[in-house]
């Protein structure tokens, strides 16, 4: 039965099938590494609303299979020109801070509250949260971050301060993840940007089956 659950100090989540129609499953709890990792393995992710974490598991789920990455001719030309150089985990804290201060199109604010930033920096120090960066000389001009568990990368946010900087960072990230045998990239919800790069919808049921297979390796 669909209902909004309220979490306490225990590390637990209700079944994903009990989420509301929009995917909202629970509210409350904390952003400890233990809770965050448990959430991701169950196909749940947090967004912040005011002072309260909200936990979501949308159906259908927007994902990218790395082998299905689409690279337009224009993006291929940008990559070939080497406009940006790219790194992994060279500036995680800078990336999440830039994402926090760069609202998504159509949004006036950000879900990345100070508590969220601190939680993912802690996950990064534990080896789970990962960043991919785009640079022009010594300037960080784009990037993204997310959580890597097993063979799944859970994308969280990206930013761009120069045209195509986030796209080239995403392309670099997918190529790196493919080399590491990543089988699935969770994009969470639809964006036109990721749709053009090859992401597509799958059912929540299929998504959860893949997590069972790919996050416990």
From residue 198, how far is each of 92, 171, 182, 185, 193 by CA, in Å? Answer: 25, 11, 16, 11, 9
CATH code of the domain made up of 62-214: 3.40.630.70
Name 73's Cβ contacts closer than 8 Å, sequence gap at least 6. none
* Residue matched to tokens 């390796």: 217
Question: Which band of pLDDT confidence, cut at 50, 70 and 90, is reported for residue 107?
Answer: very low
Tell me the percentage of the chain whose pLDDT exceeds 90.
Answer: 88
Confidence of residue 207 (pLDDT cuts 50, 70, 90): very high
Which band of pLDDT confidence, cut at 50, 70 and 90, is reported for residue 187? very high
Least confident of 1-10, 30-39, 72-81, 172-181: 1-10
Mean pLDDT computed over 98-110: 66
What does the pLDDT read at residue 102? Answer: 77
Instruction: Give the DSSP H or E segment for 205.
Output: helix 204-214
Burial 155-189 (b: 16+ CB within 10 A, else e): bbbbbbeeebbbbbbbbbbbebbeeeebbbbbbbe
* Identical fold, 5-60 and 62-214: no
Q: What is the mean pLDDT of the chain?
A: 94
Write down the pLDDT at residue 108: 45
Report strand pairing: 5-7 vs 85-88: unpaired
The domain 5-60 is placed in CATH, from the list 3.30.70.3550, 3.40.50.300, 3.20.20.70, 3.30.1490.20, at 3.30.70.3550
Place of tokens 């609303």: 49
Q: Residue 217 pLDDT > 80, yes or no?
A: no
SS3 110: coil
Q: For the CA atoms of the chain, what is the radius of gyration? A: 17
Lowest average pLDDT, out of 72-86, 94-108, 124-138, 177-191, goes to 94-108
Give the pLDDT confidence of 25-55 residue by residue, as tens digits.
Answer: 999 999 999 999 999 999 999 998 777 899 9
Residue 106, pLDDT > 50, answer no
Domain boundaries, the chain: 5-60, 62-214
Tell me: the pLDDT tens digits for 117-166?
Answer: 999 999 999 999 999 999 999 999 999 999 999 999 999 999 999 999 99
Q: CA–CA separation, 96 vs 104, rounded Å? A: 13
Burial class, 33, CB count within 10 angstroms (exposed 0-12 / middle 13-18 / buried 19+): middle
pTM (whole model) above 0.85: yes
Tell me: pLDDT of 110 over 80.
no
Provide the pLDDT for residue 50.
73
């Amino acid at each position: 039965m669909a209902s909004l659950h309220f979490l306490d100090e225990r590390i637990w989540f209700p079944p994903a099938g009990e989420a509301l129609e929009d995917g909202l499953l629970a509210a409350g709890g904390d952003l400890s590494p233990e809770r965050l990792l448990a959430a991701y393995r169950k196909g749940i992710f947090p967004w912040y609303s005011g002072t309260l974490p909200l936990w979501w598991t949308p159906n259908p789920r927007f994902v990218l299979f790395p082998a299905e990455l689409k690279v337009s001719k224009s993006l291929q030309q940008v990559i070939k020109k080497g406009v940006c150089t790219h790194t992994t985990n060279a500036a995680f804290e800078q990336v999440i801070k830039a994402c926090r201060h760069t609202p998504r199109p159509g949004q006036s604010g950000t879900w990345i509250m100070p508590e969220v930033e601190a939680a993912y920096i802690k996950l990064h120090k534990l080896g789970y949260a990962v960043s991919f960066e785009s640079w022009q000389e010594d300037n960080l001009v784009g990037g993204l971050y997310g959580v890597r568990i097993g063979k799944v990368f859970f994308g969280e946010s990206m930013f761009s301060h120069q045209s195509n900087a986030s796209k080239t960072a995403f392309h670099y990230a997918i190529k790196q993840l493919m080399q590491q045998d990543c089988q699935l990239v969770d994009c969470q919800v639809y964006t036109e940007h990721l749709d053009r790069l090859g992401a597509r919808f799958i059912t929540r049921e299929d998504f959860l089956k893949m997590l069972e297979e790919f996050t416990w390796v």
